[in-house]
């Protein structure tokens, strides 16, 4: 029996005192599943990609953890890290937007609610955007919009598939119209990407709502979702009050959306990387993918990714570390 097993068994047979438990949760040694309440050793939970092994609940993961889960080690290259938000409207609610921003920047170590970059996913080059719900609820302001837009444009220019992990409460009201216009801006960039016959896959995680759902979250070639994720535009209460109708209990869940065709597949997090790799490989083999040449009526199947610069860089890193 490993020391960890022994510790886990001891944990089961002799429940720790409330105080000690709270202290260890605060230290990050143990994590409590918010769905079933079972305590799990944080390292075990991380090894299972933050999915509870008792009840299969998908706990929230931040953008750093998500990048570790999806991108091959040492191949991640962040893009546009220097872009940071300003307060164009001098907005103030209970707190000045300026102060709110610097609080979240300190708390998360991020400049805003998205990380973008390139890397290898099971050896396949991708452009990846990962929203971070910890930063003002993953709300989409000018920086989120600009970084995603530049990521997609980079993907178009370099012939890369784009994957965006969505997690958002919607548009960022503190930036007013400037935040709303990001929806159209990102959708426009995606259209250029699409015209080059490149692949775009949004992954909807809990929660994906508001302006994100109303734009790039729903514009994918394949739309994937995590189990039980809340996905919607307006909140349940707003819709019920507007329609004066009671909505079904599972309304706005990934499963409900799958049933009605808004989502193409629900993929458990532990299978996400393999699924994305499979979809990207299949797309590269398809005759419509860029780089395929018709020779008479014969189609040559080949990988369309000429070793462009990013790919070469990433491969070089891999070779150096081998
Ligand atoms: Zn659980």
Domain chopping of the chain, boundaries: 61-321
Q: From CA 6, how far away is CA 25, in angstroms rounded?
A: 19
Proportion of the chain above pLDDT 90, given as a percent: 78
Q: Widest CA span of the chain, in angstroms?
A: 76
Q: What are phi and psi of 115, to 5 degrees?
A: -115, 135
Q: What angle do CA 197, 261, 214 make, to 5 degrees?
A: 70
Ligand 1 centroid vs 225 CA: distance in angstroms?
19
Ligand 1 centroid vs 52 CA: distance in angstroms?
5
pLDDT band at 288 (very low <50, low <70, confident <90, very high): confident
How much is the pLDDT for 278?
97
CB-based burial label for 107 (10 Å; 0-12, 13-18, 19+): exposed
Q: Which residue has the tokens 């189609």?
A: 299
Q: Is 170 helix (H, G, I), strand (E, B) or coil?
A: coil
What number is the average pLDDT over the span 176-205? Answer: 97
Ligand 1 centroid vs 107 CA: distance in angstroms?
26
The alpha carbons of the chain give a radius of gyration, in whole angstroms, of 21
How much is the pLDDT for 25?
76
Ligand 1 centroid vs 37 CA: distance in angstroms?
6
Ligand 1 centroid vs 275 CA: distance in angstroms?
24
Q: What is the DSSP letter of 61?
A: -
Q: Which CATH superfamily is domain 61-321 in?
A: 2-enoyl-CoA Hydratase; Chain A, domain 1 (3.90.226.10)
Ligand 1 centroid vs 301 CA: distance in angstroms?
45
How much is the pLDDT for 214?
96
Ligand 1 centroid vs 33 CA: distance in angstroms?
5
Ramachandran area for residue 37 (φ above 0: left; ψ -120 to 50: alpha; else beta):
left
How much is the pLDDT for 17?
66
Query: What tokens appear for 220 in the block?
Result: 């994918």
How much is the pLDDT for 16?
55
What number is the average pLDDT over the span 232-241? Answer: 92
DSSP sequence for 143-209: HHHHHHHHHHHHHHHHT--EEEEEEES-B-GGGHHHHHHHHHHHHHHHHHHHHTT--EEEEEEEEE-
How much is the pLDDT for 70?
98
Residues with CB under 5 Å of ion ligand 1 are: 33, 35-36, 52, 54-55, 57
Total Cβ atoms within 10 A of residue 148:
26
Q: From CA 231, how far away is CA 204, in angstroms rounded?
A: 7
pLDDT tens sequence across 114-172: 999 999 999 999 999 999 999 999 999 999 999 999 999 999 999 999 999 999 999 99
Total Cβ atoms within 10 A of residue 102:
12
Ligand 1 centroid vs 280 CA: distance in angstroms?
31
Ligand 1 centroid vs 40 CA: distance in angstroms?
9
Q: What is the mean pLDDT of the chain?
A: 88
Contact call for residues 117 and 76 (beta carbons, < 8 A)? yes
Q: Is the pLDDT of residue 312 over 70?
A: no
């Amino acid at each position: 029996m490993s020391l960890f097993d022994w510790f886990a068994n001891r944990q089961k047979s002799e429940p720790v005192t409330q105080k000690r438990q709270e202290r260890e949760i605060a230290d990050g040694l143990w994590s409590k599943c918010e769905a079933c309440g079972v305590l799990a050793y944080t390292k075990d939970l991380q090894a299972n990609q933050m999915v509870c092994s008792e009840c299969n609940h998908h706990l929230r993961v931040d953008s750093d953890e998500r990048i570790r889960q999806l991108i091959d080690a040492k191949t991640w290259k962040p893009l546009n890290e220097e872009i940071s938000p300003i307060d164009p409207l001098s907005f103030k609610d209970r707190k000045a937007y300026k102060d709110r921003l610097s609080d979240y920047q300190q708390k998360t170590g991020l400049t805003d609610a998205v990380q973008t970059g390139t890397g290898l996913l099971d050896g396949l080059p991708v452009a990846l955007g990962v929203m971070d719900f910890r930063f003002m609820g993953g709300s989409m302001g000018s920086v989120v919009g600009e970084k995603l837009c530049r990521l997609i444009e980079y993907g178009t220019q370099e012939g890369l598939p784009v994957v965006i992990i969505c997690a958002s409460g919607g548009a960022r009201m503190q930036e007013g119209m400037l935040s709303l216009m990001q929806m159209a801006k990102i959708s426009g960039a995606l259209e250029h990407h699409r015209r080059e016959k490149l692949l775009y896959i949004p992954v909807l995680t809990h929660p994906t709502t508001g302006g994100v759902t109303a734009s790039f979250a729903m514009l994918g070639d394949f739309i994937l979702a995590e189990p039980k994720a809340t996905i919607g535009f307006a909140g349940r209460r707003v819709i019920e009050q507007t329609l004066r109708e009671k909505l079904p209990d599972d309304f706005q869940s990934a499963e409900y959306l799958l049933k009605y065709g808004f989502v193409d597949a629900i993929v458990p997090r532990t299978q996400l990387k393999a699924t994305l790799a499979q979809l990207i490989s299949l797309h590269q083999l398809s005759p419509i993918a860029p780089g395929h040449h018709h020779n008479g009526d014969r189609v040559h199947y080949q990988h369309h990714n000429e070793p462009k610069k990013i790919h070469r860089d990433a491969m070089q890193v891999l070779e150096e570390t081998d």
